[in-house]
Amino acid sequence: MKRYDELAPSQRTIMTPGPVEVDPRVLRALSYPILGQFDPEFTAYMNDTMEMLRSLFRTTNHWAFPVDGTSRSGIEAVLTSLIEPGDKVLIPIYGRFGNLLYEIAERVGAEVAFIEREWGTVFDPEEVIRAIHREKPALVLMVHGETSTGRMQPLAEIGKVCRELGILFVVDAVATIGGVPVNTDEWFMDAVIGGTQKCLSVPSGMAPITYNDIAAAKINARKTIERGLRTGTDSVSSTSVSRPVIRSNYFDLAQLQDYWSPARLNHHTEMTSMLYALREGLRLVLEEGLEARFARHRVNESALVAGLEAMGLTLYGDPSSKLPVVTCVSIPEGIDGESVRSMLLNAFGIEIASSFGSLKGKIWRIGTMGYSCRKQNVLQLLGALEGVLIRHGAKLHTGAGLQAALDVYDQT
């Protein structure tokens, strides 16, 4: 019989747009004893998590809880529960994940209208607002931070118009939550999806979401109770609702509401250890303070950018719309980008990311997110990248990158 070695993952410095390094205190939380999902001690942790998510999303929404699964599970749950077959949705696309919203919306039966911008740019809000008036959708779906291109879309004006017109505004904030402001109520966002494996520095496996009473009303109009859970007094079946039922059982937010409410109506077996991790990650975010955390991400971004540019590298994309937690770098002409990434990983234990689609092989993407967003990591990366690029024959301003980053840190 084949024998397998004991699990011993290598220690890495992860500077990708996700996953990122996990705070040691979160890793410790993952090791705690399992509790039953309806143990009062555990349900108290669930309630804590909901409270902290409201603070994180900057909302007074009642509904704020995680969907069990990767970030995409949160997107699927929100879109599946809010989009009825035949609903018209408008999706402004400026990168890979806008295209993902298109694909999911189409799969759940939406009539999809879209507008597109060249990758590396974002929309002027007025451009989106004109499309809203032209298309008259039931929902507008947008990405806040597009990690494929390192850009961030302004949302406040778009949300205000959606609210005035009675259009649901749904936002993918997977890359931004916990790293930059996500002002759910102030920007009139009806539903927002976050992620754990980026700026929250929690392992991938849960998708925090929040939605308001406007969205909840549409979800509840499609509500059913799972057949095996109905009692003699329940009449909420697939034949008793006036609107099309939610097509997924697992991603049914109406049923998940009952699970996260005091009713604790069983839906699935909660991911106990991941809930511990998320609760601890949220506690650490709020302990640091949102404004202090946003400032930390900005400082490390500034040091990284200063170092890369002083080294002689060119950043990709419109600088006015740069996503603070992801920096995209154009791969110098004649340099094998994958060879550079491989040497960084094998020689220095540092991981950066490539990109997708039309940008594959053209840019590197460097994340400064959550626990990975540290001075030590930025300086190590700049020094290692310079050494690797020189090894690959690139002509650089030797030593200038680290000095420029140190200057930023000295000033702050």
**Cis ω for the linkage preceding 66 (within 30 of 0):** no
Query: Residues 122-141: pLDDT tens digits?
Result: 999 999 999 999 999 999 99
- Name the DSSP letter for residue 359: G
The owner of tokens 């996503």 is 323
Contact assessment for residue 278 and residue 196, using Cβ atoms and an 8 Å cutoff:
yes
Query: Residues 36-64: pLDDT tens digits?
Result: 999 999 999 999 999 999 999 999 999 99
Residue 8 has pLDDT above 90, yes or no: yes
Domain boundaries, the chain: 23-286, 290-411
Q: What is the DSSP string of 363-383?
A: EEEEE--GGG--HHHHHHHHH
Q: Compute the radius of gyration of the chain from its Cα atoms.
A: 22
Mean pLDDT calculated for residue range 397-404: 97
The owner of tokens 């990983």 is 345
Q: What kind of architecture, by CATH, is found in domain 23-286?
A: 3-Layer(aba) Sandwich (3.40)
Angstrom distance (rounded) from CA 352 to CA 342? 9
Mean pLDDT calculated for residue range 3-26: 96
- Neighbouring C-alpha atoms within 13 Å toward the C-beta of 327: 25
Return the pLDDT at 240. 52
- Name the DSSP letter for residue 172: E
Query: Residues 221-280: pLDDT tens digits?
Result: 999 988 888 886 665 655 556 789 999 999 999 999 999 999 888 888 899 999 999 999
Angstrom distance (rounded) from CA 291 to CA 380? 26
Q: Using CB atoms within 10 Å of the CB of residue 62, give its burial: 0 to 12 exposed, 13 to 18 middle, 19+ buried.
A: middle
Return the pLDDT at 266. 85
Q: For domain 290-411, give the CATH superfamily.
A: Aspartate Aminotransferase, domain 1 (3.90.1150.10)
Return the pLDDT at 228. 85
Q: Spell out the long-range contacts of 258-261 with Cβ–Cβ below 8 A and sequence spacing 24 or more.
A: 258/225, 260/46, 260/50, 260/63, 260/65
Query: Residues 140-160: pLDDT tens digits?
Result: 999 999 999 999 999 999 999
Average pLDDT of the chain is: 96
